[in-house]
Every structure is written in structure tokens, then in C-alpha cells.
Structure 1
Amino acid sequence: MKHKLLVLFLLLLSISMLWGAGNSESVDASYPTKPITMIVPYGAGGTTDISGRQLAVQLEKHLGKSITVINQGGASGSIGARTVLDAKSDGYTVLFTAESLGTQRVMGLSEMSYDDFTPIMVAVNDPKVIVVGKDSAYETLQDLVDDIKNRPGKVKMSYTGPGGSGHVQAMIYGKFGMEMALTAYPGGADCILAVLGDQVDFTNSNYSTVTGYLESGDLKLLGISALDRLEAHPDVPTLGEILPGSERYLSNPFTPLSLLVDKDVPPEVVTILRDAAKKAVQEPAWKEFVVKNSLDKLYEKYPDESSMRKFYKDWESLVSWMLYDSGVAKFSPAKFGIEKSQY
């Protein structure tokens, strides 16, 4: 009798384990079953926020669930990124971030990096542009560059904090003998408001955040921090034209925006999110958004996980060593095994 009961118990246990495994797979396959939260680790109104919200709208169409975008700025994106890692690794909390994950370790802001996440999509690069207020005495990019050179440390520039894309812009200026007075603000929109309020002389904004101000005439576009002029503004020169020798720095995408999840999110969920993201960027509304804001379609250049991870590795190497060699990084990239690229 005892033997029969033991056999029956083991049989029921086996059935239960098999059902549990099958049920787990069905849960993953049915993802999502509830709303998703997208953390944008910067203030509202900046390039990451604008692009993230647009992508969220398109993703909802293919995931069948609502996506709530939450801005959680501070510490160059590290606070919001930590929120995603601290959440349950089930794919219901995702991160839409700019490039700061590639610099947080060397800047001493956090111990996080791209390696702590699984990439869903390297989405777009928002070109950096140089803008001043409508009443600024600067009429051309050359005017601004000359004044910075003539008055070291006097011309004021707003940026989003240590290690951010604006900070990298300032380092490029520095390599060509230009020193500015830097003032940090929580996000890209705040940097623009500082220009509008005459708190600073100029800023290196992302193009998508200034289009409305350019159309209204509240800001003047002086230059493009890239090698190629924008189709929307063919008469505006690039920084490369004004600073000979800067080409090797300006070829880098300064503000790559990415959709990421915690590295422990199940592979089945990652696959569903990637499929939805690929469909989202084919939506007419997204394509119109990309064209209107002159965004670089990085998702076409880095279509799979291996190419995305290589992009992050190369970007991290270039910018981290630039920060360190300029004396602004707290730690050497070598401390984290980041090999030095040639730039």
C-alpha cells in the first residue's frame, strides 16, 4: 500500500512539474498581459523623452497594451536606469535612454553599464546642434567660436551634466583651444530654457528639441555638430567646417537613443519586444517623426544583438577614454576592462 502511494505521489509530482514548466512558457509567450512602464532617465521635453514617447505610441500598436512613460531624471541618467534594474525582471519595466550608460562608470556616477541590460533596439541618433537666443550678438558659428577663443572661460554653455553628450561636445571644443563656463541642468529642455532666459550664452542641443523654437524664432541655429549639414538647414555650417581636424570626433553619434531591458528578462520576452520594435519603426507616424527631426536611423545600421553590443562597446571605448584623457573622468576606463580605441 505504501509503495503504491509513493508511486502515485511521484506521478502527481511529475505531472505538476511538467504543467508548471508548460505554464511558465505560456506566460512568457502571452506577454504582455498588463500595461508596461517605460522609464526615461531624464527630464521631460528633452530628446530622449520626445523620442521615447513617440516610440511608445508605436509600440503599443504591436504589443496590444498601454505604455506609461515616466521621467526619472538625475545623476546623468543613473537614477532612472537603476529603477529598471531594481524592478522585477519580467519585461514590464523598460528603459529608453541616451548614451550615459556608456560613461557612468568612469565618471563615478554608478557601477552600471550597457552590460547590465539586454538591448531591444539601438533606435536613433539625434544630431547635436548649436543654438543661441534670438537676441544673441552671435550671428554665425564663427562669431561664437572666435569669442570663446578670445575670452577663455567666459562664454557660458548649458549642458546636462558630467559625461553627457553636451559634456563631450565641450571636450571637443577644448581640444581646439576653447574653454567655456559650463553650467549643468537636469535635462535638454532645461538647457534650452537657460538659453531662452539669458542664463547662458549657448547650448549644444539635440535637433528634435529645438525645432519648435527655431520655427518660432526664439532660437537661432548657428551650427551642426557633425560632418554633414542637415537637409532641413542646408545653409547652416557644420562644426567640422569651422574646426579643421575635428572630423575624427564628429563622426561619432553623440546621442544614440536605445530601448533596453534588464539582462535577466526572459529571452521569450526579449524576442517579443524586439519584434514589436521592428514593426514600430515601420509605422508611417514614426517615419514622419524621424524625417521631421533629421534623426539618424541607427536601427538600420545595427539590426541584431551582436551588432548592437559591438556598437556599445566601440562607443564606450571612444567616449570613456576621451573623458579620461581630458581629465574629467574619475576612473580610468582600464579599471573596467575598456580597451582604448584610436581617435
Structure 2
Amino acid sequence: MKKKLILALATSMMVILTGCGSEQTSNTTQEDIVNGVFTPSESINIIIPYEAGGNSDIPARIMAQYMDEATETDIKITNIVGAGGRTGFEEMLKSDPDGYTVALHSSGFIMQHALGIAKFTPTDAEPIGYLIDSSMAVVVSADSPYQTMDDLIEAAKATPGEIKMGSVTGTLPLFGILQIEQEKGVEFNKVDLSGNSKAPELLGGRIDGYLDGFGAVKQYIDSGDFRCLGIIASEPQVGYEDIPTFAELGFENYAYLKQDFGLWAPKDTPEPIVDYINNLISEASENPQCIEELQNISFKPKHTETTQYVEDLTANYAAFGEAAQAVIQQ
């Protein structure tokens, strides 16, 4: 009987790990590829470069569980945290290109690259494909005078630099605020909430609104504490179809602001291996139970062919690079 998904407990990255990977050699790759088909002979380890139980970890584990069901081998999870995710991801980059170590890549890394923090790009690895995605949302308090996004925009135009929008410097929500400012010709008072939880700041009236992942604000929308003015997406959020999307609100350049996650493999990983893991993502993404579990936490599986994924990554790296100039000038 197929063994269940092996969930390795979160581990903190230690200096001792930095010496292993690039010096290793392996014959496994050639032995496990026959007639252009990869047949794994050992467990596939997915490095999640964020803490166990977090907003990135939980949906990735759900997908890994259903990928595990689609293969005769085991899919393992290892959490290696540190440096905004770069520690774990760079450990993957040093690993052998044999198909047994891959890592979760987030849109946050593209943003870090645009700001000169993360050095790696798709040319430094072998992107495999999307895994999961979620959308950001714009929220205000339930007693806010802004009933709609148009209300917020009009008020920002009337009082430049006065409406307080919370974010954290160098994060995706800040890029979202900057994109709204650019497209609508407005200026917010961008309040840096580094070290502070966003929800209490809004509940306490210290800010007028903020952007965050829909999953992070969903409980406050459901409780009636927050009003959601818009979701940064082209398709409605399942179960919240009454909340307008940015497409419906007339925004244009927002696609790069998706909270996308994908899987990457070390540079020079053979194509049959990339295809094999991409196919596991495809099978998991079509599993009704997987879809339901992810929807319950406001995520959804996402699958494309590798070539499309690389095209999207290239476009997103360019978009973030352009948007980063506004951050640098802050």
C-alpha cells in the first residue's frame, strides 16, 4: 500500500548544511531515466523555505499530499527557514540535479530580486511549474466611510497623502499600494507596519486600510469587522463573488501581484524529471479533494506547462523590476 506523505518537522538552517550539495555527485539521474522517462527510486524532497504551519507552508503541504498520492515514491517536506526564505531556497540550488530535491518558489523572491536582495533568477535553476496561488485583497474597517474602491480612490484624490494604508516595506502589499497609486493617480500615506500585526492596527483605527492575502483577512470579512473593497485578481474569489475583482474595477497592470507559488529544481535537472514532477502537480490540481481543501483556506491549485510558467516568471521579474523603482524612491 502506498505510504502516506512523510512530513519532516521544520528545521532551522545551520551552517553545517552549506557545505553539502554542490560538491556531491550522483549517478541516480542516469540510472532513473530510461528511454526519456523518469522513474524515481527514492523520495522526492520539497524544501519549503518558510516556517511550518505558516500561510505558505499549509497550502503547499496540501498539494504535496495529493502529489504523493499520484506517485509510487514518497513526497517529503522539509522546512528550512531564514533570510526571508532565501536560506532554504539556496540550499536547493546547491543540491544535485537528480530530481530528489526541489523547492517552493514564491512571488516574494521575485520582489526580493527587484530590490537587489535575492540574486537568483529562472536562469539559475530549472523552474518546474506553478503549484498554488492566492489573491490579495484591499480591506477597510466595517465602519469606514469608504463603501467601495471608487470611494477610496476619490477620497485619496481629494486629500493626497492623508489616507493611511498599512503595509510592510519591501513586501507584496506595498507593491500593491504603489500600483493603485500609479494607475489611479493618487497618493496614500503609506504606514510601515514592520513588526506589527496589520489587523489590530486597522481594528484600532490607527490605519484606514491595508492589503493582504485574502486568506489572512477572510476571518475578519466573515466576522463583519472588515469590508473588502476589491480582490487583486481577474476571477472572483469562490464564495465571495459579490466582492469586485481588480479586473471588474478597471485596473490593468495587476497580474504580477498574485501570490503565486511554484516548484523549482536545481540547474541542469534533466527535462524528463521536470516533466515528471510537473505531471504530479497536474494530477494533484485536478483532485476534487485537493481543490476543496485549498478552497477552505482561500487558496487554489495552479498548473501550467513548464514553458508557460517560465514565460510568466520572465514577465513577472520584469514587472517587479519596474515597480521596484517606486519602492527605491520612497
Structures share fold, TM-score greater than 0.5: yes
Q: Please say if 1:145 is aligned against 2:153.
A: yes
- Per the alignment, do residues 228 and 270 of structure 1 end up closer, same or farther by CA in structure 2, a change over 3 Å counting? closer
Q: CA deviation at 1:169?
A: 0.8
* Contact 2:52 2:79 (8 Å CA) reproduced: no
Percent of counterpart pairs with the same letter? 19
1:283 counterpart = 2:287: yes
CA contact under 8 A between 2:110 and 2:316: conserved in structure 1? yes
Q: Distance in 2 between matches of 1:274 and 1:227?
A: 24
Structure 1 match to 2:275: 271
Gaps of 5+ in 2: 1-25
Aligned to 2:110: 102
Cα 1:161–1:95 change in 2 (3 A) is farther
Which amino acid in structure 1 is aligned with residue 308 of structure 2? Answer: S
Count of aligned positions? 299
Which residue number in structure 2 is paired with residue 68 of structure 1?
A: 77
| Conserved 8 A contact 2:46-2:101 | yes
Give the 3 Å change call, closer, same or farther, for CA 327–35 of structure 1 in structure 2.
closer
Deviation at 1:180, TM superposition (A): 2.9
Name the CA shift for 1:311/1:227 in 2 (closer, same or farther; >3 Å): closer
1:21-36 to 2 correspondences below 5 Å: 25-26=30-31, 29=38, 31=40, 33-34=42-43, 36=45
* Aligned counterpart for 1:115 among listed residues 123, 143, 151: 123
Q: Is the 8 A contact 1:133 1:195 kept in 2?
A: yes
2:230, 2:243 within 8 Å by CA — same for their partners in 1?
Answer: yes
Distance 2:167 2:80 in 1: 18
Q: Which amino acid aligns with 2:328?
A: V
8 Å CA contact retained: 1:41, 1:96: no
2:232–2:257: 8 Å Cα contact kept in structure 1?
Answer: no
**Cα distance change of structure 1 residues 50 and 154 upon mapping to structure 2, 3 Å threshold:** farther
Q: Which residue of 2 aligns with 1:321?
A: 322
Counterpart-to-counterpart distance in 1, 2:76 and 2:248: 42
Contact 1:40 1:52 in 2 (8 A): no
SS at match of 1:279: helix
2:172 corresponds to: 165
Please give the alpha-carbon distance, in whole angstroms, between the structure 2 residues aligned to 1:309 and 1:152.
39
Q: CA deviation at 1:72?
A: 2.5
Q: Which has the larger radius of gyration?
A: 1
Normalization by structure 2: what TM-score? 0.73
Distance (whole Å) between structure 2 residues aligned to residue 310 and residue 87 of structure 1: 24
Give the structure 2 partner of residue 8 of structure 1: none
Cα separation, 2, equivalents of 1:251 and 1:57: 28
In structure 1, distance between residues paired with 2:199 and 2:54: 10
Q: Secondary structure at the match of 2:112?
A: coil
Pairwise CA RMSD: 3.7
Counterpart for residue 210 of structure 1: 217
User: Secondary structure at 2:286's aligned position in 1?
Assistant: coil
Structure 1, unaligned stretches of length 5 or more? 1-20, 331-343
Report which of the two has the higher share of helix: 1
TM-score, normalisation: structure 1: 0.70
Displacement after TM superposition at 1:282 (Å): 1.9
SS of the counterpart of 1:285? helix
- Residue by residue, what CA displacement relative to the aligned partner does 1:147-181 show, whole Å, maximum 9, x if unpaired? 4444444444343541x431221111221212232
- 1:10 matched residue in structure 2: none
Residues 158 and 41 of structure 1, relative CA distance in 2, 3 Å threshold = farther
Closer, same or farther in 2 for the Cα pair 1:74/1:218, shift >3 Å? farther
Counterpart amino acid of 1:141? Answer: M
Superposed displacement of residue 71, structure 1: 6.2
Which amino acid is 2:292 matched to? Answer: E
